[in-house]
Amino acid sequence: MRYFQQLLAFASIACIGHASAPDTLAGTSVITSLGASNLTTGAACACNKLCALYSNLVIFPSSANYTEQATYYWDVRADLSPACIFLPTTANEVATAVKHLVQCNAQFAVRGGGHMNFPGSNNIDGGVLLGFNNMANYQVNEDTIDVEPGMTWYDVYSALDPYGRTAIGGRLKTIGVPGLTLIGGVSYFINKYGFAMDNVVSYEVVLGDGSQVTTDSTTNPDLFWALKGGGSNFGIVTKFKLKTYSMPHISTTIQVFNESSTYAFTKAVCDWALADSQSPVAAGSVLTITYNVTTKEMSPSLLGVQAGVSNPPSEFKNFTAIPGVSKIHNVTTGKQWASTLDSPKQMFRVMFAHHSMIPDADVLYSMIETWKNAVEKISDVQGLYPTFVANISPASAARVAKTNGIGNVWGLDDEPLIWWQFSTGWDLQQDDLRVEGWARQLTEHLHGLNKHKGLARDFVYMGDAGEWQDPFAGFAPANVQRMREIRAAYDPNGTFSKLNWGGFKLGY
Ligand SMILES: Cc1cc2nc3c(=O)[nH]c(=O)nc-3n(C[C@H](O)[C@H](O)[C@H](O)COP(=O)(O)OP(=O)(O)OC[C@H]3O[C@@H](n4cnc5c(N)ncnc54)[C@H](O)[C@@H]3O)c2cc1C
Ligand SMILES: *[C@@H]1O[C@H](CO)[C@@H](O)[C@H](O)[C@H]1NC(C)=O
Ligand SMILES: *[C@@H]1O[C@H](CO)[C@@H](O)[C@H](O)[C@H]1NC(C)=O
Ligand SMILES: *[C@@H]1O[C@H](CO)[C@@H](O)[C@H](O)[C@H]1NC(C)=O
Ligand SMILES: *[C@@H]1O[C@H](CO)[C@@H](O)[C@H](O)[C@H]1NC(C)=O
Ligand SMILES: *[C@@H]1O[C@H](CO)[C@@H](O)[C@H](O)[C@H]1NC(C)=O
Ligand SMILES: *[C@@H]1O[C@H](CO)[C@@H](O)[C@H](O)[C@H]1NC(C)=O
Ligand SMILES: *[C@@H]1O[C@H](CO)[C@@H](O)[C@H](O)[C@H]1NC(C)=O
């Protein structure tokens, strides 16, 4: 078997005929060639050109590493069957690839850490997948770090660990740097430093014609602004320069509660969101409520982190005061903490669904109760893994963009928000539409009730949304208009709209 795979891998180096026969893809779903470009011919053209140039960086369905690459995703639904996978090692190779993709009119997808919960945002059936697994170099500077898009946040925290510093990024180990940074980025230090995008000093970008530009506050400042929350609409980022902060120690807490503490937990969540210190201790959290369909019990939990050594972390004292099933406090490093928080590849099929509200403990609690009852309606779904998540977007985080002279595309008001979310996992493809329908109906129902109460807000975070949601509809309309103008200026032929069409796109 191993010999056979090697033979196939070797055969692919010849670059002949592989991409032109997509019907032979193992386990492929139906490949259609609708729309403006011919998927089959475009991909075959691009795969053959890339293979001729970089034979050892192109993987075909017959190659040994194809399955590993085509399943490098958290959500099993993201597994698709690209005609070939290109793993560039440099920005110049990315630029060359874009030129060939455009010349061949080849549809393509781009993948960083593979965590986005939107099938087709980061993989493509029958097209070309560009993955950054071979581009994970970095350079630590005095108060910044240069990061290539193949890095995970654990890689970044590990690189900064010897210097006692950290960057503003993801809360779990294996989330990718590029996706999170381009869509916003919720960190453990959100209340003081804002979002990950607010801490990017410059971007190096491959544009839709294969040219390369640098953007910072003075060079191409309009593109610089658009990349702060605008996602994958403008180009491929090949390097991020991120601010770093001294953070030799963090104080952490893991608290698990039983169902009887759910109201107190909800109140602590809202109080934390509302507490708006002018000089906050940098802190953030992961707040979830799981529902066990066997025991029919909810279980709230907190992962809390703050800068410094105050133990237990003072920012979470309202949670610490609630009786819980288990509480583990520690003083540690960001690297050590992140090392324990993996989100494994191929975890399950999973559907996100989310909206925003201003904090109100009674209403949030009733939403949680409604969710719990609604989960019972789908409790026969095999492998059901229902979670209610609360992400907190404090007023102080919105103020960072308001006061740093740059801003971001969101244009959030100076008010605390709770981004409430259902994250629902399950096993079987046959249940996809059922779970999606359930999540959509429940989400829109609760959002509708919140609108009547005056508590709803339009903001939708790309990191928490389902693929059926439109985050751009919740941004300040003038900002969306400006993003379209910037897209027209930097990508006039629509490479990142028409050829790289997957994911949250600005639309027309
Ligand atoms: C388990 C889990 C935990 C999460 N935790 C957090 C969290 O703590 N904070 C938070 O803010 N969000 C979180 N998220 C959401 C997360 O930020 C998004 O899923 C994000 O897109 C992941 O980045 P990635 O590089 O892994 O994504 P990918 O899926 O690889 O990419 C996401 C999108 O970005 C595009 N893209 C990738 N690389 C580039 C590039 N170099 N240039 C241009 N476009 C590119 C892709 O084409 C795709 O459209 C979490 C998600 C999951 C599943
Ligand atoms: C796409 O290209 C293939 C191979 O050249 C061809 O057979 C097919 O007709 C084309 N389809 C369209 C819609 O142009
Ligand atoms: C395939 O995987 C092996 C082992 O993980 C790795 O050494 C090799 O470089 C990979 N090949 C490509 C083309 O990425
Ligand atoms: C857009 O496409 C036209 C026609 O192919 C080409 O001449 C032009 O150079 C392209 N412009 C950019 C910026 O890609
Ligand atoms: C804790 O809760 C009280 C009200 O019960 C509130 O005033 C305070 O701001 C909260 N503190 C934090 C850090 O959440
Ligand atoms: C639910 O509870 C049962 C019984 O205690 C346990 O065996 C199971 O692992 C729990 N499921 C989850 C997803 O935690
Ligand atoms: C839930 O937790 C509370 C407080 O710790 C405890 O008194 C109670 O017995 C627990 N209930 C169950 C069912 O475990
Ligand atoms: C607490 O932190 C120390 C120092 O980083 C680490 O060695 C230890 O494993 C941590 N303990 C727990 C329970 O996480």
Say how many Å lie between the CA of residue 127 and the centre of ligand 6.
Answer: 40
**Of the bound ligands, which one is closest to the alpha carbon of residue 292?**
6
The reply to whether ligand 2 has any atom less than 6 angstroms from the CB of 41 is yes
Say how many Å lie between the CA of residue 387 and the centre of ligand 4.
Answer: 47
**Of the bound ligands, which one is closest to the alpha carbon of residue 257?**
7
- 451 shares its domain with 482: no
The reply to whether ligand 6 has any atom less than 6 angstroms from the CB of 278 is no
- 235 shares its domain with 281: no
Which residues line ligand 1 at a C-beta cut-off of 6 Å? 74, 110-117, 121-122, 149, 170-172, 175-176, 178-180, 182-186, 232, 236-237, 343, 463, 503
pLDDT by position in tens, the chain (length 508): 344 344 334 434 456 445 443 433 333 333 444 444 567 889 999 999 999 999 999 999 999 999 999 999 999 999 999 999 999 999 999 999 999 999 999 999 999 999 999 999 999 999 999 999 999 999 999 999 999 999 999 999 999 999 999 999 999 999 999 999 999 999 999 999 999 999 999 999 999 999 999 999 999 999 999 999 999 999 999 999 999 999 999 999 999 999 999 999 999 999 999 999 888 999 999 999 999 999 999 999 999 999 999 999 999 999 999 999 999 999 999 999 999 999 999 999 999 999 999 999 999 999 999 999 999 999 999 999 999 999 999 999 999 999 999 999 999 999 999 999 999 999 999 999 999 999 999 999 999 999 999 999 999 999 999 999 999 999 999 999 999 999 999 999 999 999 999 999 999 8
376 belongs to a structural domain: yes
**CA-based diameter of the chain, in Å?**
66
Q: What is the CATH number of the domain that holds 117?
A: 3.30.43.10
| Ligand 7 atom index nearest CA of 257 | 2
Question: Which element (helix H / strand E) includes 240?
Answer: strand 236-246
Instruction: Give CA–CA dist 285/97, Å, rounded.
Output: 39
- 419 shares its domain with 302: yes
Regarding pTM above 0.85, the answer is: yes
Residue of 401, 445, 398, 385 lying closest to 420 (CA atoms): 445
Which residues line ligand 5 at a C-beta cut-off of 6 Å? 271-272, 275, 315, 318
Residue 122's Cβ-side half-sphere holds a number of Cα atoms within 13 Å equal to 27
* Predicted local distance difference test score (pLDDT) of residue 15: 63
Q: Which residues of 56-92 are buried (b: 16+ CB within 10 A; e: fewer)?
A: ebbbbbbbbebeebbebbbbbbbbbbbbbbbbbbebe
- 371 shares its domain with 345: yes
Four-CA torsion 63, 64, 67, 73, nearest 10 degrees? -110
The reply to whether ligand 8 has any atom less than 6 angstroms from the CB of 332 is yes
- 153 shares its domain with 101: no
Residue nearest ligand 7's atom 2 by CA? 258
The reply to whether ligand 6 has any atom less than 6 angstroms from the CB of 292 is yes
378 belongs to a structural domain: yes
Say how many Å lie between the CA of residue 175 and the centre of ligand 1.
Answer: 6
216 belongs to a structural domain: yes
| CB distance 291 to 297 below 8 Å | yes
Boundary (domain end) residue, out of 80, 106, 131: 131
| Ligand 5 atom index nearest CA of 315 | 13
Q: What is the CATH number of the domain that holds 366?
A: 3.40.462.20
Question: Which element (helix H / strand E) includes 417?
Answer: strand 417-426
**Of the bound ligands, which one is closest to the alpha carbon of residue 114?**
1
Q: What's the full length of the chain, in residues?
A: 508
Say how many Å lie between the CA of residue 12 and the centre of ligand 3.
Answer: 14
Say how many Å lie between the CA of residue 361 and the centre of ligand 8.
Answer: 33
- 56 shares its domain with 193: no
- 353 shares its domain with 431: yes
Could you tell me where the beta strands, DSSP code E, fall in 23-151?
58-59, 84-86, 108-111, 128-131, 138-140, 144-147
| Ligand 3 atom index nearest CA of 9 | 13
98 belongs to a structural domain: yes
Boundary (domain end) residue, out of 109, 131, 153: 131
Residue nearest ligand 4's atom 2 by CA? 493
- 318 shares its domain with 382: yes
Cis before 312? omega within 30: yes
* Predicted local distance difference test score (pLDDT) of residue 290: 98
Question: Which element (helix H / strand E) includes 286?
Answer: strand 283-292
293 belongs to a structural domain: yes
Q: What is the CATH number of the domain that holds 481?
A: 3.30.465.10
Instruction: Give CA–CA dist 376/296, Å, rounded.
Output: 9
From 32, 38, 45, 107, the mutation candidate for ligand 2 (largest count of ligand atoms within 8 A of CB) is: 38
Instruction: Give CA–CA dist 308/310, Å, rounded.
Output: 6
Which residues line ligand 4 at a C-beta cut-off of 6 Å? 208-209, 492-493
| Ligand 3 atom index nearest CA of 87 | 14
Say how many Å lie between the CA of residue 121 and the centre of ligand 1.
Answer: 10
**Which letter does DSSP use for residue 321 in this model?**
T
- 386 shares its domain with 299: yes
Instruction: Give CA–CA dist 87/64, Å, rounded.
Output: 14
504 belongs to a structural domain: no
480 belongs to a structural domain: yes
| CB distance 171 to 196 below 8 Å | no
Report the relative pairing of strands 456-457 and 297-307 from DSSP bridges. Answer: unpaired
| CB distance 505 to 233 below 8 Å | yes
For residue 323, the tally of other CB atoms under 10 A from its CB is: 10
| CB distance 482 to 228 below 8 Å | no
Number of domains the chain is built from: 3
**Structural domain of 298:** 250-471
- 147 shares its domain with 73: no
- 401 shares its domain with 466: yes
107 belongs to a structural domain: yes
- 81 shares its domain with 199: no
Say how many Å lie between the CA of residue 273 and the centre of ligand 7.
Answer: 26
Q: Strand, coil or helix: what is 24?
A: helix
Instruction: Give CA–CA dist 212/493, Å, rounded.
Output: 16
